[in-house]
Each structure stands twice: as C-alpha cells, then as structure tokens.
Copies of this chain bind each other. A is one copy, B any other.
Amino acid sequence: MKYSFRNDYSELCHPEIFEALIAAQKEQNSGYGLDKHSENAKKLIQEKLETNNCDIHFVTGGTQANATVISYILRPYEAVLSCESGHINVHETGAIEATGHKVYTVPGQDGKLYPIDIINALKTHTDEHMVKIGMVYISQSTEVGTVYSVSELKALYDCCKENNLYLYIDGARLSSGLAASDVEFHMLKDLCDVMYIGGTKIGLMSGEAIVIFNDQFKPYFRHHIKNKTAMLAKGFAIGIQFERAFQDNLYFEMGKHENELAHFLSNELKTLGVPLLSESPTNQIFPIFSKDQVEELKELYDFEIWGEVEDKIAIRFVTSWATTKEACIELIQDIEKIISK
C-alpha cells in the first residue's frame, strides 16, 4: 500500500512535538497535570484566546472529553441536543447515554445545527414527561467536513442564551475548522460556554484541551475528570505537547496544511471530472467512483468507504498534518490512470 488517506491520526505526532517530548525526557514532573508544562500550555492557549478567564484541562481523547463535559453540564433529567450526524450520537457507542443522558437529535443540514432547530426542539419538549433540553452540541469542523461561520456560531449562541441553554463545541478537528472558516481562535471565547481543542487528530500523540469559559462550569471540574476516569497520572505528557503546539502557530499551521492539500485534491479531482459528494472546505473530501474503480484504488491506497450513491460509491480521503504534497500528486496520477481505463 502506497499511503493511507483513511484518517488524520495515523502517525504518532508532529516532529516538533516529538522534539518537545524528547527534551523533557529526563525531567521529574508533578503528576495529574499539575506540572509546569501543563501550566505553561494553559497560559499559551489563554494568550491566543486573549483571555485568562477560562479554565483549561487536558484529557486523552475526544469521546472522553465529550462525556466528561456533557455529564458535568447537564442535570440528570436533561438531554443534549445534537445533529443526527453528531459524533456523540453516532460514533461513541452510547458513551453519553452511559453517563445517564439522552442525546436528542434533529436532522440539521450539512452536519450543522441552526437556531430554528433549537427552537423546534424546545417547542416539542413542553412538560415533565419529556427530557428537558439542557445544552447544544456542535462540532467545528463537523463530522461531514463543513464549518460554521462567525455569524452562524453567534446566532446559535444567542439562541442558546435566550433559551437558557449552554453551547458546547467539539473541536476534534478545530485546527482544520478554523483554517476553513472566518472564525478566529480568540473569537471562540464569546461564542460558546465550553469547547475542546482537539489534539489527537492534529499532530499530538494524544490529548484534547477542554476550555471552560462559563464560570458556572468551573468548580470541582478536576474531581469530575477523575470521576469520569479521564485524569492522567502523567498529565505532563499531554501538557508538553500542547505547550509546543501553542508556543508559536504550529497548532494553526497544521490545520492550514491539511486543508491546502485537501483543496488541491478536490480541485484536481474536479479537473479529472470526478464528482464530489459535497463541497467540503476542510480536510475531508468525498469523491465518487464506480465500484471497479474503488476496488483498484484500494490496492494502492487506504481510505474509508463512505456510502453508496446510486450505483456508485462515495469514499473519504482525509489529509493530515503529515500528508505530503507528493503523496497527493501521486494519488491524483493513480486516479487519472484508473479512471482513464
């Protein structure tokens, strides 16, 4: 196999992040994230957010971040509102429900929620025989590669505040999402109550940074992290990585890099006449091939089968911080050969 375009977490971590780990190898650090690297990483993130009025906690994975945050925010009888395509609804094996909460879903559009979705959900949840909608979950970028604009996020958050709901942003692919939208990192502090900054899918060995803007959700959050089995003894291993990612613009550059390669791929595919399932501005693209073409492509590359489109098949290519232009050029050349047969 020449290369895997299956996902953006196939390689251990970005070389510069690896260097930071190597540099700290002989240090003794305090446990449980109470070390100098974690502290510094938090400060660096706060600087880029242009506020120090937020609490930051590091955990190891996205599902873990979601379950930890959602179960902290909600009261027992409350549900989280999500798009049907939301990661918490589809791909977390019931992890949110395992903490006792319903994930109430609406179809949304292109993987995104709009204020009207929130309003309709509230209209149909009118009494104590139905769950109370307590918060709204969205992803930036979404599970289908789309992004929210600043005005869309603002409209959603305003709608949440008017209705006493809390807005939580799953930033598993935040770097790519920022690079593809008009949302700047520092704006996020005014656009949600809690979010997490994804690390695993953008060049960290593992690690996500939960950022809590709303004061209401700060007390005893470390107790809650431990209660949800998400506290790492060697928390500094994540702190070191985030420290490096936010020391300069590395965190943001990685997202730009993967988007650029994805755009290159989608442009070349269009030139070749390969249809795309959707216009994705981020690092996931969804070309459509015949079954035979997919079979041939499979022998050379690894990727995900997304679904059937009439008698053809949509597949997913994901570019990552580690993907090279060369790999992309070769992929296009191979596709050209296959489709010209």
Residues of chain A at the chain B interface (Cβ within 8 Å): 3-4, 6-7, 9-13, 15, 18, 21-22, 24-32, 60-64, 67-68, 71-72, 75-79, 90-95, 97-103, 128-132, 200-201, 205-206, 220, 222-234, 236-237, 240, 322
Contacts and interface: CB of A to CB of B under 8 A. Distances in A.
B94 A64 contact: no
Contacts of A94: 77-79, 100-102, 131, 227
A229 B228 contact: yes
A229 B230 contact: yes
A91 B130 contact: yes
Contacts of A227: 76-77, 92-95, 98, 131
B234 A9 contact: yes
Given A11-B27, A13-B25, A229-B230, 18 more contacts: A10-B28, A10-B31, A61-B229, A63-B229, A64-B230, A76-B228, A77-B93, A77-B94, A94-B102, A94-B131, A95-B226, A98-B101, A99-B100, A100-B100, A128-B220, A128-B231, A131-B223, A132-B220
A226 B93 contact: yes
Contacts of A233: 7, 9, 61-62, 200-201, 206
Contacts of A68: 229
Number of copies: 4
A206 B21 CA distance: 13
Nearest to A320: B28
Nearest to A11: B28
Contacts of A22: 18, 22
A63 to B, nearest CB: 5
A227 B135 CA distance: 17
A62 B31 CA distance: 14
Contact of A223 (B128, B222, B232): B128
Contacts of A131: 93-94, 97, 223, 227
